[in-house]
């Protein structure tokens, strides 16, 4: 089945540790996105990428880093500089070549907690 | 970053009732999307709207793109227990890229 796969489902981070969240899609989508979700809030954009080897900061990029070495993959690293990393992280993707209005489709998320 | 005003925050209804929720923005949008999220899962797209005044249905769900392009609503008719979840609106402004702005969500609980 085509879709977006996020792993792991649950992740724990120790103080001062970097952790990497995986996002893989087999939909042949061009654009990929990372969002953070906190209780009672909407989704906030961390980073996005329209094409391989290119990405841009979203609204809350501080303390996070990404890479886009392959079209299918867009891993997110939560660095030790992110002081409040506990949240639900969602990856999304969308088509670009049919115009700018294609909806984003989401993975099932990774819940990150601090030990 | 900007977030949309979505209301109500939560609703607790009886099975069979109709539900209405809405989103408003101070900015004009060229796309409105409605998603549903169940616990521990990612949002699933329900309806996409692309033109002012557009009214689109998906089964018991109906959504409309407001004439002013600053609002949208979602109706659910004859609710059932599996409608439980958080419903998010999302809008895209008239820019060159598909950056979405999300509402804060409406939590729906349905009593059998």
Residue in A6, A42, A108 nearest the CB of B103: A42
- The pLDDT of residue A101: 65
- The pLDDT of residue A21: 97
Whether cis (ω within 30° of 0) applies to the bond prior to B8 is yes
Place of tokens 């660095």: A79
Structure tokens at A51: 């094409």
d(CA B65, CA B46): 14
Task: State the average pLDDT over residues B76-101.
Answer: 88
Residue in B1, B6, B44 nearest the CB of A45: B1
Structure tokens at A13: 């981070």
Question: Which chain A residues are Cβ-neighbours of B92 within 8 angstroms?
Answer: 100-101
Q: Is A33 helix (H, G, I), strand (E, B) or coil?
A: strand
Q: Which of A103, A106, A107, A109 to mutate to test the interface with B (most CBs of B within 10 A)?
A: A103
d(CA B63, CA B34): 8
- For residue B30, give the nearest of B57, B66, B1 by alpha carbon: B66
For A27-52, how does the pLDDT look when each residue is reduced to its tens digit (9 = 90+)? 999 999 999 999 878 899 999 999 99
CB atoms within 10 A of CB A40: 10
| Lowest pLDDT segment from A23-37, A96-110, B32-46, B51-65 | A96-110
Strand partners, A105: A93
- CB pair distance less than 8 Å for A59 and B6: no
């Amino acid at each position: 089945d085509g879709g977006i796969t996020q792993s792991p489902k649950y992740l724990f981070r120790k103080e001062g540790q970097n952790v990497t969240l995986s996002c893989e899609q087999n939909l042949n989508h061009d654009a990929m996105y990372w969002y953070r979700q906190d209780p009672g809030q909407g989704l906030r954009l961390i980073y996005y990428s329209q094409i391989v080897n290119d990405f841009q900061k979203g609204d809350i990029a501080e303390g996070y880093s990404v890479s886009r070495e392959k079209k299918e993959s867009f891993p997110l690293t939560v660095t030790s500089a992110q002081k409040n990393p506990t949240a639900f992280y969602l990856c999304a993707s969308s088509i670009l070549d049919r115009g700018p209005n294609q909806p984003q489709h989401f993975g099932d998320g990774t819940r990150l907690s601090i030990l | 970053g900007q977030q949309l005003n979505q209301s109500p925050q939560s609703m607790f209804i009886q099975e069979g009732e109709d539900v209405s929720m809405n989103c408003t923005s101070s900015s004009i949008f060229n796309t409105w999307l409605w998603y549903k999220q169940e616990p521990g899962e990612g949002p699933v797209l329900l309806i996409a709207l692309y033109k002012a005044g557009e009214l689109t249905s998906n089964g018991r769900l109906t959504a409309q793109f407001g004439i002013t392009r600053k609002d949208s609503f979602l109706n659910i008719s004859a609710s059932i227990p599996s409608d439980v979840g958080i419903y998010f609106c999302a809008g895209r402004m008239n820019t060159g890229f598909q950056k979405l702005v999300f509402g804060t969500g409406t939590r729906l609980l349905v009593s059998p």
